[in-house]
């Protein structure tokens, strides 16, 4: 396959960036999207050019490190992470525009790499349960209803990649926040801190500068883990209850 | 409520000032508007019962609750509630829109909309359009009582709600009918997403089924309200109501 790539190049957080066009030949349909970028970088290095900086880690769709806005879609056209996207989703001769997540709360580090530590701080501000460490308790001593356990499990699949923020026209992290609130709030272990958690995590979300939710659903369609929009309803419900409880 | 990135953990922030609290305010005030337009539309349909019934209903709105309420007392209570809702609705919309703009200073050069409806993406400008329409509508039928048809500002037209209505939508004023139909289209768009969004913001859509029901509610409210309102100008311009 021969591709035309338009890639956002930006030297660092303070410099202005721009889209730069590259021609890349010899791309196999079996390559992952990141392997295609690896190939481009080899070519750039041979030409003594600066390689394109992008994030990746596990390359098996579970760590949440890769990102990329590909032709206007977070993680590209398939419902998966960029690392699990393969070049068979594209055609020979395609032009592919690759941009970083665009959000003031995710400042660009270099090229396609953004700093997503705002998510870490949201987690730090209540996104956990307080439990004594040491010997693990007997698993069956705390019964969890199956439907709640399943919902908690499904929402816990959020890998914090930030696609929801990238796809949202408001740059809201409501889907991420809702996934964490639902995941912890559905289980018995999450109950003691349930209503303080939603307040502190939301306070951090707002302080980081993320936008408000307009319930349009772009986030859920971009989510590689298919977190449904109803976690935002759960988030809203828990916040509403916490306001009444005081 | 300033959109400033931080590197520290926030302590003691007031949740009543949060983005979700603003959304709750939008949802609550939006529901006030939904209830209002439903009742308003019902009142308009009285036009099909003729001049006497229509004007009687208009007068009834003013004498409602007498003598506990003064003449027009109910209308003034409604006006105050609507005005407060408008301030809350527009105020939170502006605050949230500002945050959204601050959060994306550099736009995508390519961005696809995959799941959002056209109505959900036109809430802000649609809201502005509706606001401008409401200003004109109030000037026309409530504050100044502008007769755009024959007879000019003669009191027998302007002080007779039914005749003022009929006069506004005569075939010679076809453009007025177009303005109202376009406004109803904008209202349908706003209600289609607004109704769903309010239910979701209030936290009543925690399953796929309840979310689907909330979407149906959006369609029903949009079609019933905008459709019901559109009947009167349409049937007037075609001479059924005269």
Q: Express each pLDDT in B129-152 by its tens digit.
A: 999 999 999 999 999 999 998 888
User: Least CA distance to B200: which residue of chain A?
Assistant: A233
Joined together, the tokens standing for residue B121 give 């993406």
User: Least CA distance to B6: which residue of chain A?
Assistant: A208
Whether the per-residue pLDDT at A61 is higher than 80: the answer is yes
Contact B109 A99 (CB under 8 A): yes
Contact B114 A215 (CB under 8 A): no
B116: which chain A residues are within 8 Å (Cβ-Cβ)? 169, 216-218
Contact B103 A121 (CB under 8 A): no
Can you tell me the distance from the alpha carbon of A210 to that of A230, in angstroms, rounded to the nearest whole number?
Answer: 19
Q: Which among A69, A124, A211 is the nearest to B9, CB-wise?
A: A124
Average pLDDT value for residue range B9-18: 84
Average pLDDT value for residue range B107-120: 95
Q: Which among B23, B203, B206 is the nearest to A212, CB-wise?
A: B23
Average pLDDT value for residue range B20-44: 97
Q: Which among A118, A203, A209 is the nearest to B3, CB-wise?
A: A209
In chain A, % of residues over pLDDT 70? 100
Whether the per-residue pLDDT at A246 is higher than 80: the answer is no
Q: Give the least confident one: A4-8, A79-83, B14-18, B49-53.
A: B14-18
User: Least CA distance to B97: which residue of chain A?
Assistant: A170
Contact A239 B21 (CB under 8 A): yes
- Would you state the pLDDT for residue B96? 97
Whether the per-residue pLDDT at A140 is higher than 90: the answer is no
Domain ranges of chain A: 3-110, 116-245
DSSP sequence for B171-232 = GGGHHHHHHHHHHHHHHHHHHHHHHHHHHHHTT---SHHHHHHHHHHHHHHHHHHHHHHHHH
Distance from CA of B95 to the nearest CA of A (A): 9
- Would you state the pLDDT for residue B151? 83
- Would you state the pLDDT for residue B2? 44
User: Least CA distance to B117: which residue of chain A?
Assistant: A216
Contact B203 A103 (CB under 8 A): no
Query: Out of 1.20.58.220, 1.10.1060.10, 2.40.37.10, 1.10.645.10, which CATH number does the structure's domain A116-245 have?
Result: 1.10.1060.10
Number of Cα atoms under 13 Å in the Cβ half of residue B145: 17
In chain B, % of residues over pLDDT 90? 88
Contacts of B118 (CB under 8 A, 6+ apart): B189
Q: Which among B22, B117, B206 is the nearest to A237, CB-wise?
A: B206
- Would you state the pLDDT for residue B132? 98
B106: which chain A residues are within 8 Å (Cβ-Cβ)? 17, 102
Confidence band, pLDDT 50/70/90 cuts, at residue A149: very high
Whether the per-residue pLDDT at A134 is higher than 90: the answer is no
Average pLDDT of chain B to the nearest whole number: 94
Q: Which among B10, B16, B200 is the nearest to A215, CB-wise?
A: B200
Distance from CA of A45 to the nearest CA of B (A): 27
Average pLDDT of chain A to the nearest whole number: 96
Whether the per-residue pLDDT at A200 is higher than 70: the answer is yes
- Would you state the pLDDT for residue B79? 97
Contact B121 A206 (CB under 8 A): no
Contact A233 B205 (CB under 8 A): yes
CATH class label, A3-110: alpha beta
ipTM, 2 decimals? 0.92
Joined together, the tokens standing for residue A125 give 């501000």
Whether the per-residue pLDDT at A105 is higher than 60: the answer is yes
Does B130 contact chain A (CB < 8 Å)?
Answer: no
A240: which chain B residues are within 8 Å (Cβ-Cβ)? 20, 24, 202-203
Can you tell me the distance from the alpha carbon of A6 to that of A156, in angstroms, rounded to the nearest whole number?
Answer: 34
Contact B103 A234 (CB under 8 A): no
Contacts of B94 (CB under 8 A, 6+ apart): none
Average pLDDT value for residue range B79-96: 98
Can you tell me the distance from the alpha carbon of A120 to that of A230, in angstroms, rounded to the nearest whole number?
Answer: 23
Whether the per-residue pLDDT at B4 is higher than 60: the answer is no
- Would you state the pLDDT for residue B99? 96
- Would you state the pLDDT for residue B5? 57
A237: which chain B residues are within 8 Å (Cβ-Cβ)? 202-204, 206
* Whether domain B17-101+119-237 has CATH 1.20.1300.10: yes
Q: Which among B100, B120, B204 is the nearest to A233, CB-wise?
A: B204
DSSP sequence for B107-165 = --SS---SS--HHHHTHHHHHHHHHHHHHHHHIIIIIS----STTTT-HHHHT-HHHHH
**Of B210 and A131, more confident:** B210
C-beta atoms surrounding B94 within 10 Å = 11
For B41-53, the pLDDT digits (tens) are 999 999 999 999 9
Whether the per-residue pLDDT at B69 is higher than 80: the answer is yes
Contact A205 B111 (CB under 8 A): no
Confidence band, pLDDT 50/70/90 cuts, at residue B6: low
Contacts of B168 (CB under 8 A, 6+ apart): B140, B141, B147, B148, B149, B176, B233, B236
A21: which chain B residues are within 8 Å (Cβ-Cβ)? none
- Would you state the pLDDT for residue B14? 82
Contact A207 B10 (CB under 8 A): yes
Does B180 contact chain A (CB < 8 Å)?
Answer: no
For B149-197, the pLDDT digits (tens) are 888 888 889 999 999 999 999 999 999 999 999 999 999 999 999 999 9
Confidence band, pLDDT 50/70/90 cuts, at residue B8: confident
Average pLDDT value for residue range A106-115: 97
- Would you state the pLDDT for residue B97? 97
- Would you state the pLDDT for residue B150? 85
Average pLDDT value for residue range B18-22: 96
- SS3 state at A98: strand
- Would you state the pLDDT for residue B11? 84
């Amino acid at each position: 396959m021969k591709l035309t790539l338009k890639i956002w190049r930006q030297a660092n957080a303070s410099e202005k960036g721009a889209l730069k066009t590259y021609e890349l030949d010899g791309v196999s349909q079996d390559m992952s999207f990141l392997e295609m970028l690896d190939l481009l970088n080899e070519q750039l290095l041979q030409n003594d050019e600066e390689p394109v900086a992008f994030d990746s880690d596990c390359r098996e769709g579970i760590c949440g490190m890769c990102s990329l806005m590909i032709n206007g879609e977070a993680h590209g056209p398939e419902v998966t992470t960029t690392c699990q996207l393969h070049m068979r989703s594209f055609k020979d001769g395609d032009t592919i525009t690759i941009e970083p997540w665009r959000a003031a709360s995710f400042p660009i580090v270099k090229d396609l790499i953004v700093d997503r530590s705002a998510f870490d701080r949201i987690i730090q501000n209540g996104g956990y349960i307080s439990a004594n460490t040491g010997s693990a308790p007997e698993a069956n001593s705390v019964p969890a209803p199956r439907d709640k356990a399943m919902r908690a499990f499904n929402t816990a699949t959020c890998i914090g990649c930030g696609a929801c923020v990238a796809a949202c026209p408001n740059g809201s992290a409501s889907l991420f926040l809702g996934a964490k609130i639902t995941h912890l709030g559905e289980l018995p272990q999450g109950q003691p801190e349930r209503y303080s958690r939603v307040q502190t995590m939301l306070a951090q979300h707002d302080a980081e500068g993320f936008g408000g939710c307009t319930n349009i659903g772009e986030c859920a369609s971009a989510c590689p883990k298919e977190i449904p929009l109803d976690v935002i309803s759960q988030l809203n419900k828990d916040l509403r209850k916490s306001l009444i409880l005081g | 409520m300033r959109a400033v990135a931080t590197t520290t953990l926030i302590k003691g922030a007031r949740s009543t000032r949060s983005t979700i609290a603003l959304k709750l305010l939008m949802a609550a005030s939006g529901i006030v508007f939904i209830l209002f337009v439903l009742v308003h539309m019902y009142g308009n349909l009285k036009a099909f019962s003729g001049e006497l019934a229509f004007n009687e209903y208009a007068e009834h709105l003013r004498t409602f609750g007498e003598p506990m309420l003064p003449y027009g007392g109910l209308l003034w209570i409604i006006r105050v509630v609507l005005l407060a809702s408008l301030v809350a609705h527009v105020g939170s919309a502006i605050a949230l829109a500002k945050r959204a703009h601050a959060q994306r200073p550099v736009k995508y050069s390519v961005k696809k909309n995959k799941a959002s409806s056209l109505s959900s993406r036109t809430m802000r400008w649609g809201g502005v359009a509706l606001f401008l329409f409401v200003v004109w509508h109030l000037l026309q039928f409530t504050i100044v009582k502008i007769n755009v048809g024959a007879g000019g500002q003669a009191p027998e037209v302007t002080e007779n709600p039914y005749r003022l209505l009929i006069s506004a939508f005569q075939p010679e004023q076809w453009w007025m009918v177009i303005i109202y139909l376009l406004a109803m289209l904008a209202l349908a768009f706003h209600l289609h997403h607004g109704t769903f969004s309010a239910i979701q913001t209030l936290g009543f859509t925690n399953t796929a089924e309840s979310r689907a029901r909330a979407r149906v509610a959006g369609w029903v409210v949009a079609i019933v309200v905008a459709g019901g309102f559109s009947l009167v100008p349409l049937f007037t311009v075609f001479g059924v109501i005269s």
